[in-house]
Homo-oligomer: A and B are copies of this chain.
């Protein structure tokens, strides 16, 4: 039994969708969330810059004495997970392996679509993971850069969102994919809009839940579970707090949270 907490890192607030799933699967664990809101979004940045930002986030979380870290951001996972795992001694897991596994299990016609940020799609990280599982599966990626700002504007269920989804998804529809990975933590909030566009017969895969299950298995395997009876605590840190913060946090968590600001450049 290990009482230390689990670090959850995201480029901003999208990772709260992953944190929510971890809370459900591991209710007794203490969690420490860090969102890099001073430098969000990571989607359009270079690999080098994303690696630097990820290492700073991990360095910060380590000061909170965490026993494991979840990189709850597809872009950061795609661009820096392998390097982070090499650099640090504690278990670090991303969201892509779980998402890839779920997609591979879900497709019937062997055609999977991946939607995400520019960084995630350009990295082809999902393609590589899915090919590891089954080489025959065809993987089609599509960067949907406007989805994150649309969600943050609170426009997920508007005509603008629908038209944007139509434009982005037509390529995947033409490829006849039967499963689409929501490869960005903001996208579950667009699930209805995306679903209406591609139709009920296309399965939308959200890697968050599978990631939480992976995390639990790793904690069990490494004998790191917290077996206390009380519910775990959750502490939230961000690198910038702007006026819009409370409303976006509410959008993701459906509850109010207290946050503390971190000077992330120092880590």
- Closest chain B residue to A264 by CB distance? B265
- What 0/1 readout, one digit per residue, does chain A (229-265) give for beta carbons within 8 Å of chain B? 0000000000111111000000000000000000001
Are A242 and B118 touching (Cβ within 8 A)? yes
Q: Which of A155, A160, A243, A265 has the most CB of B within 10 A?
A: A160
Binary B-proximity of A215-232 (CB < 8 A = 1, otherwise 0):
000000000000000000
Question: What residue of chain B has the Cβ atom nearest to residue A12's Cβ?
Answer: B44
Asked whether, in the complex, the Cβ of A155 is within 8 Å of the Cβ of B159, the reply is no
On whether the beta carbons of B146 and A49 are closer than 8 Å, the reply is: no
**Are the CB atoms of B159 and A150 closer together than 8 Å?**
no
Contact partner, A45, options B38, B48, B149, B265, Cβ 8 Å: B38
A107 CB within 8 Å of chain B: no
A45-89, CB < 8 A from B: 45-46, 48-49
**Of B150, B239, B265, which one neighbours A146 at CB under 8 angstroms?**
B150
A160 touches which of B48, B49, B163 (Cβ 8 Å): B163
User: Which residue, A44, A148, A158, has most C-beta atoms of chain B within 10 A?
Assistant: A44
- On chain B, the residues within 8 Å of A242 by CB distance are 44-46, 118-119
CB-CB under 8 A for A49 and B240, given A39-B38, A265-B265: yes
- Give 3 nearest A-B pairs by CB, closest first: A149-B149, A49-B240, A46-B242
Which chain A residues have a beta carbon within 8 Å of chain B's beta carbons? 37-39, 44-46, 48-49, 118-119, 122, 145-146, 148-150, 152-153, 155, 158-160, 163-164, 167, 239-244, 265
A45-B242, A46-B243 are known; give 14 further A-B pairs, CB within 8 A. Answer: A38-B39, A44-B152, A46-B241, A48-B240, A49-B239, A118-B242, A145-B152, A145-B153, A146-B149, A146-B150, A149-B149, A160-B160, A160-B163, A163-B163
